[in-house]
Amino acid sequence: MKLLPLVLANLRRHRLRTLLTTLGVALATFLFASLRSVVTTLNAGAEVASASRMGVQNATAIVFPLPLSYRERLAAVPGVAAVTWANWFGGLYGDGKTFFAQFAVDPETYLAMYPEISVPPGQKEAFLHERTAALVGKGLMEKVGWRLGQDVTIRGTIYPGDWTFTIRAVYTPTVRAMDDRSFLFHYDYLYERTDHRATPGWYALQLSDPSHAASVAQTIDAMFRNSSAPTKTMTEKAFNQSFVTMWGNVQFLMNSIGMAVVFAILMVTANAMMMTARERTGEVAVLKTIGFTDRTLFGLVMAEASVVTLSGAVLGLGGAKLLYAGTGFNGFGFLPGFDVTPATLALGFGITLLLAVASGIVPALRAARLSIVQALRHVE
Amino acid sequence: MALVELRNVHKSFQRDTQVIEVFENLTLDVAERSFTALMGPSGSGKSTLLNLIAGLDRPTSGTITVAGAKVNAMPPTALAAWRARHIGFVFQSYNLLPVLTAFQNVELPLLLAPLSRKQRDERVRIALGVVGLDDRLQHYPRQLSGGQEQRVAIARAIVSDPTLILLDEPTGQLDKRAAEEVLALLQRLNSELHKTIIIVTHDAHAAEKAKQVLHLEKGVLAA
Ligand SMILES: Nc1ncnc2c1ncn2[C@@H]1O[C@H](COP(=O)(O)OP(=O)(O)O)[C@@H](O)[C@H]1O
Ligand SMILES: [Mg+2]
């Protein structure tokens, strides 16, 4: 502890180098926390998925629609208790900077299938009985500052034109992993205004018995195999994941980027530590002459590496935690309940400790093993 | 019994395939409270001798005893602790850590001793007072002249009240006046504070300040 001022003084020697290395570690740990939280949030969302619900999407990809006529055929499949459907609207609001997800849903069946979307009874009635009514998440209401009864105009991108809705109801999710920033409106309105072009993006099914999920999926996919729109039926958990990961294997991508980032910063930190150690050969010899042991010198270099990497990690991991919690970030509606979990923070600090050891070990050993006589001959 | 005793010291260096014999059979006594100047041409082994006495290097064979301790036989960690307690060493240059103030540089040896902050503070101020730099506590080495830097290094060498002070050409890079000041300081340390001092120097004038002069020629001592 008495030696801490020496460690800090050494770090002040090249302020810019220390600052850049610390910021590099901060950025790397921030990215690590962000990427990993995408994965944990997706998993948390998938965890709370109901085992008694399934999703049906176009076998090619979820961005391709399914015919409206499938609803009766799906409802007729043995084991299917209820059917609902929805559509991704993808419109822009205001200057386009306020992103939120809009879904066209079949109101009655949708709310029946998703009891976790909690709506006050009076508002629910109002929403169900007005063709241009909207049901908006509480979080979104607060974020944009909307009030109940207000008209909201959304500019269509997939379905062009200005679409005006009246907010008639506000929902509160009863589970954390459910998004509270979505904007729901009547599928019929979309269907009619687009001259019946906007067919369902996906269907959701309620099963009478979750244990029949596999056979139900098989029956459905076999039924549509040779149609113009073959289907892919999966559990809600898998469906939730595929909905968010429509652009590929997110988990693999996130982990690969995360590892690459950590590895890159390891090189940067190790290099900075090596440079630092090399410049100080003479000083290490002087400290040893004074009576500092090899072990102490090893510790001093390791402490230096630890201070840099750990303060970077505090900035990066703490920054990620505070930033995402403070802004209520939810991945534009794709990542409801986005959160940097304690496990992610612990893992981040664990990796940082490894980083400290990996970047400090070589210069620390070099300092410990340095022969005073040899070192001074090179200096003088 | 002398404070420093070298008996039949043999020291050789191995450089690639070549063996450099520095001392074949060196015997030397240095008395307590003495002030010895060690002279000799470059490469004659002056630094090597000082390093052996300080326990910075080990003899190939022979024994080195300082204040009763067998320096040549001590394990590395014990040797480091012994050095902290008994040896004050001053090099020709690069003595001070540039990132530390004069105060912090002088404090370094005390960090290895079980002393409170207040005790350390007191001793550092006394040591810097002895070398006449108690008004430069918060200066960094680059803010000091060469002579002042060497005086700070001497303050660090005396701060833990070591048994023996060793200086390897401490005035080698100083101008005449600064060198004078350093030598006068060493003389005072010896006569008033009774420190035992061995100084390596090229300068015959500097050697005059010492009580005793030893000449080293190709690894052999002559008075
Ligand atoms: N660490 C070392 N490795 C190899 N040779 C050395 C080493 N230290 C000293 N020498 C050699 O030993 C001899 C004495 O060196 P040194 O003690 O530095 O002389 P001086 O200080 O009198 O100039 C020289 O020939 C020098 O090259
Ligand atoms: Mg020399």
Cβ pair A39, A251 in contact under 8 A = yes
Asked if A150 and A264 sit in the same domain, the reply is no
B45 Cβ below 6 A of ligand 1: yes
pLDDT in tens, chain A (380 residues): 789 989 999 898 889 999 999 999 999 999 999 988 888 887 776 666 777 899 999 988 878 899 999 999 999 999 999 999 999 998 999 887 788 889 999 999 999 999 889 999 999 999 999 999 999 999 999 989 999 999 999 999 899 999 999 999 999 998 877 788 899 999 999 999 999 999 999 999 999 888 888 899 999 999 999 998 999 998 887 777 666 655 456 677 777 888 888 888 888 888 888 888 888 888 999 999 999 999 999 999 999 999 999 999 999 999 999 999 888 787 766 777 788 999 999 999 999 999 999 999 999 999 999 999 888 876 54
Q: C-alpha A218: how far from its chain's center?
A: 31
**pLDDT (0 to 100) of residue A320:** 95
Of A176, A197, A228, the residue at which a domain comes to its end is: A228
A345 part of a folded domain: yes
Asked whether residue A349 is domain-assigned, the answer is: yes
Same domain, A84 and A207: yes
The amino acid sitting at B118 is K
The total number of residues written for chain A in this structure: 380
d(CA A324, CA A166): 30
Contact (CB<8Å) B57/A376: no
Same domain, A204 and A317: no
Q: Which tokens belong to A371?
A: 């022969």
Ligand 1 neighbour B46 (Cβ under 6 A): yes
Indicate whether A170 and A279 sit together in one domain.
no
Provide the number of structural domains found in chain B.
Answer: 1
Query: Which distant-in-sequence residues (6+ apart) come within 8 Å of A307 by Cβ?
Result: A7, A8, A11
Whether B43 is in the pocket of ligand 1, judged by its Cβ within 6 Å, is yes
How many of the other CB atoms lie within 10 Å of CB of B188? 13
Let me know if residue A234 belongs to a domain: no
The answer to whether the CB atoms of A291 and B92 lie below 8 A apart is no
Structure tokens at B104: 């912090």
Do A115 and A210 share a structural domain?
yes
Domain assignment of residue A256, yes or no: yes
In-domain check, residue A124: yes
Assess if residue A141 is contained within a domain: yes
pLDDT (0 to 100) of residue A176: 73
CA nearest to A178, candidates A138, A144, A134, A123: A138
Q: Nearest Cα to B38, choosing from B201, B159, B182?
A: B201
Which CATH number is B44's domain given? 3.40.50.300
**Structural domain contains residue A337:** yes
Locus of tokens 């064979």:
B61
Residue B115 domain boundaries:
2-222
CA–CA distance, B217 with B223 (Å, rounded to integer): 11
Residue type, A207: L
Q: Judge whether A83 is closer than 8 Å to chain B, CB to CB.
A: no
Q: What angle do CA A106, A107, A109 make, to 5 degrees?
A: 75
Based on the fold, state whether residues A289 and A221 are members of the same structural domain. Answer: no
Count of C-beta atoms within a 10 Å radius of residue A149: 9
Alpha-carbon B166 to chain mean position: 2
Assign A231 to helix, strand or coil. Answer: strand
What ipTM was assigned to the predicted interfaces of this complex?
Answer: 0.94
pLDDT tens, residue by residue, B5-16: 999 999 999 888
Same domain, residue pair A278 and A214: no
The residue among A228, A258, A273 that closes a domain is A228
Min Cα separation A298/chain B (Å): 13
Beta-carbon contacts of A119 under 8 Å, excluding residues fewer than 6 positions away, are: A111, A127, A135, A169, A170, A171
pLDDT < 70 positions in chain B: none
| Residue A221 and residue A262 in one domain | no
Q: How many Cβ pairs within 8 Å bridge chains A and B?
A: 73
Domain of A192?
65-228
Q: Which of B77, B81, B92 shows the shortest C-beta gap to A380?
A: B92
If one counts the domains in chain A, the total is 2
Least Cα distance to B34 among B2, B67, B9, B66 occurs for B2
Q: Domain check: are A76 and A165 in the same one?
A: yes
Same structural domain, A131 and A263: no
Q: Which of B110, B148, B108 lies closest to B132, judged by CA?
A: B148
Model-level pTM greater than 0.80? no
H or E stretch covering B30: strand B18-30
Q: How far is CA B129 from the centre of its chain?
A: 19
> Do A216 and A188 belong together in one domain?
yes
* Residues A217 and A148 reside in one and the same domain: yes
Nearest ligand to the CA of B38 is 1
User: Which residue's CA is minimally distant from atom 18 of ligand 1?
Assistant: B47
Which of A286, A371, A377, A379 to probe the B interface (max B CBs under 10 A)? A286
With vertex at residue A26, the alpha carbon angle to CA A25 and CA A29, rounded to the nearest 5 degrees, is 80
CB atoms within 10 A of CB A166: 17
